[in-house]
């Protein structure tokens, strides 16, 4: 049985392959004419009226969107008993199909379990007892070739009553028999019920992921689109009051390639789906940023070093003018390596200019 992350891993992988990713065209770079200046502070969230806050609190909701969905659902007409029965039949059919296809249950197991549900403990245990003791009864000298089924059944009932004296006049004997019978019935049902419960849990997870995955994809696409920049601020330096920048513009193809890698590393990661289900958007956003830095370092480090060299060469900076340098690119994972490589490129440029 798979559970936890392993179980979700199978489901997310299946959903990822079954759903085409949403369009990943980057947004246009030109902002609309009416957009506020980029450095304006974001508008504060509006204060909700008190009665709305009370409704959210009363129903255990966290947003106006959730309240809207709740109220819409409350307006839906009540389902008829026939509709409820039909939905249950569809659910049961899907559950059985899922369980059999995934080798969680055999079809005979499903039939057996349904039969068990309709039987009392006594009938269930008696049927199993009869199967177990029939050969022994047939060897009884009183049972001959001429014995009828009723005579054989009578012998089985006598043996059953001896094993489980449910009709005893002694109350303590009767109570012990009832406890023994209940234990035997549980031992018969338990393996089938355990397998069924496992299959049902897996099937419910499948439905949950199937229903939630389109929302998950949409949310992840927005986070990725908002995170991938139009250019990489690879390096910044200062020469007196003059800012020295080395950035790398990203084409639409560059952005698409980066987004594809982020989807592969982040969106298709089952742990990200679990974070999404838990509402941990900030953690996902940070994971995307960290992975973006690694992708940029892996794919654009050489381009960045050349850009640094070209920038210093074009400005004709002399050796020793390196003051106030900072590296806005390197991630925690790659910071030291990136800094070393950038410093090496810069030293080479300075050395070559010093010799001229």
* Angle at CA of residue 164, ends 158 and 169, nearest 5°: 90
Those residues of the chain that have pLDDT short of 70 are 1-46, 75, 239, 315-356
Query: How far apart are the C-alpha atoms of 219 and 65, rounded to whole Å?
Result: 15
Going by the DSSP 8-state scheme, the letter that residue 263 receives in this structure is: I
Query: How far apart are the C-alpha atoms of 281 and 103, rounded to whole Å?
Result: 36
The answer to whether 121 touches 183, Cβ cutoff 8 Å, is: no
B/e letters for 195-229, b = 16+ CB within 10 Å, e = fewer, are bbebbbebbebbeebeeebeebbeebbebbbebbb
What was the pLDDT predicted at 1? 44
The answer to whether 119 touches 219, Cβ cutoff 8 Å, is: no
The two tokens of residue 172 are 């303590």
The pTM of the whole model exceeds 0.85: no
Helix (H, G, I), strand (E, B) or coil at 171: helix
Largest CA distance in the chain: 121
Going by the DSSP 8-state scheme, the letter that residue 280 receives in this structure is: -
């Amino acid at each position: 049985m798979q559970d936890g992350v392993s179980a979700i891993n199978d489901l997310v992988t299946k959903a990822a392959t079954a759903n085409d990713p949403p369009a990943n065209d980057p947004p246009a770079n030109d902002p609309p004419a009416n957009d506020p200046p980029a450095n304006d502070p974001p508008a504060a969230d509006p204060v909700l009226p008190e009665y709305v806050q009370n409704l959210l609190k009363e129903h255990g909701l966290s947003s106006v969107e959730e309240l809207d969905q709740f109220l819409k659902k409350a307006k839906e007409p009540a389902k008829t008993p026939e509709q409820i029965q039909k939905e249950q039949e569809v659910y049961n059919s899907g559950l059985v199909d899922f369980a059999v296809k995934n080798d969680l249950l055999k079809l005979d197991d499903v039939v057996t379990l349904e039969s068990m549900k309709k039987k009392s403990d006594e009938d269930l245990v008696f049927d199993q007892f009869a199967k177990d003791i029939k050969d022994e009864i047939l060897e009884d000298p009183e049972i001959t070739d001429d014995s009828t089924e009723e005579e054989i059944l009578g012998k089985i009932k006598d043996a059953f009553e001896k094993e489980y004296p449910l009709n005893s006049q002694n109350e303590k004997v009767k109570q012990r028999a009832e406890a023994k019978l209940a234990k035997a019935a549980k031992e018969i049902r338990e393996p089938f019920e355990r397998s069924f419960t496992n299959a049902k849990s897996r099937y419910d997870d499948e439905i949950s992921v199937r229903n939630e995955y389109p929302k998950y994809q949409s949310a992840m696409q927005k986070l990725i689109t908002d995170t991938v920049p139009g250019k990489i601020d690879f390096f910044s330096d200062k020469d007196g009051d003059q800012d020295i920048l080395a950035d790398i513009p990203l084409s639409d193809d560059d952005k698409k390639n980066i987004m594809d890698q982020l989807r592969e590393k982040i969106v298709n990661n089952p742990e990200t789906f679990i974070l999404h289900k838990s509402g941990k958007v900030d953690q996902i956003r940070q994971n995307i940023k960290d992975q973006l830095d690694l992708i940029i370092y892996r794919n654009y480090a050489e381009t960045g070093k050349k850009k640094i060299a070209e920038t210093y060469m074009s400005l004709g900076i002399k050796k020793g003018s390196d003051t106030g340098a900072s590296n806005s690119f390197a991630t925690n994972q790659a910071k030291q390596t990136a800094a070393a490589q950038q410093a090496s490129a810069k030293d080479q440029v300075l050395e070559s200019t010093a010799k001229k």
